Structure 1
C-alpha cells in the first residue's frame, strides 16, 4: 500500500479560496441527491488528518472497481501537487470511511500502480474524459486509489 506519487513541476492552479464553501455545498447536495453531483457518482471521503488527527470530509467522484471496490482519482483538477486528502490517506490508509448512497462504510485505501493502475485509468477516462484532460495539465501521474471494504 505505497502512496508515493510525487508532485509535478507544472499543472493547473490548485483549487483554493472558495473550496471550503464549495465542498460544504457539494456534501449537502450529495447527501440529498442520492450520491450524484455534477454528473458523477459521488461519495464523501472521511480521512484522518495526517497532522491534526481530526476527521476530514471531502466530496469526490468515484468509479466502480472490478471487484466491487470504489476507485477515486487524486486529480486536484490537474494541479502540480496532490490534494491534501491524498496525504491523509497515505498517513492513515486503514482509518478511512466513505459515505455513499446514505451508507457509511469503513474502507481501506490502496494506491494502484503498474498494470492495475493502467486498467483502472482506462476505465475511468472512458467514462469520464474530464480526467484525461486533467492529466494533460500536469506532469505528475494522477494517483488512482482503490477503496475496499474492511473485512468484518
Structure 2
C-alpha cells in the first residue's frame, strides 16, 4: 500500500500488539520493578492504568504513555493508531474514577477528555515529543481524545 506524504509509517499491527504484550509481561515478571518510567524532556513516561470493564465489571489494566501537566497525567486514546476507541478509554468514560501505577507508586485519579484550548495545548505538548503525531492521528477515522487524569483523594 502506497503512503501519502502525510502518512506516518506504522509497524504491522501484530508487531505493535506483540511489543506491548512483551512489555506487560516484563512488568509482571519483575513485580513492577521494570516496565514503568517517568517522563523526561523529549520523552513520555509509561504508566499502568486500571479501569473497570463497563460491561464485565472486572478490572482491566493497560500500559500507556503519558506526559505530566502540573499535577495531571495526560495520555492519548489512540488504540495503537488503529480504528475505533481503545477499550480502556470506553471503560474510563463509563467509570472515570480509577487508579494508575507510576514509578513512585499508585495514584488515585479521575479521567476526562480535554476540550477546546486545553486539548490544543496538550496536543501541542505531545507534538513536541512526537513530531509525526499529526500524521499518525490522520490515520484514524475520528478525532483522537486527549485524556487528562486528575489526582483525587479517596
Q: Which TM bucket (shorter chain)?
A: 0.7 to 0.9
Corresponding position of 2:76: 73
Distance 1:148 1:129, change over 3 A: same
Paired with 2:27 and 2:96, the residues of 1 have a C-alpha distance of: 22
Matches within 5 A, 1:60-139: 60-65=64-69, 67-94=70-97, 96-139=98-141
| Secondary structure of 1:145 counterpart | strand
- Scaled by the length of structure 2, what TM-score is found? 0.76
Q: Distance in 1 between matches of 2:125 and 2:84?
A: 23
Between 114-123 and 22-31, report the one with greater CA deviation.
22-31
Q: Give the 4+ runs in structure 1 shifted more than 4 A.
A: 12-20
Q: Which has the higher contact order (CA 8 A, sep 6+)?
A: 1
Distance of 2:102 and 2:18 partners within structure 1: 24
Question: Larger C-alpha radius of gyration, 1 or 2?
Answer: 2
After superposition, the CA RMSD in angstroms is: 2.8
TM-score (norm 1): 0.77
Say yes or no: does 1:35 pair with 2:36: yes
* Structure 1, gaps ≥5 residues long: 1-11
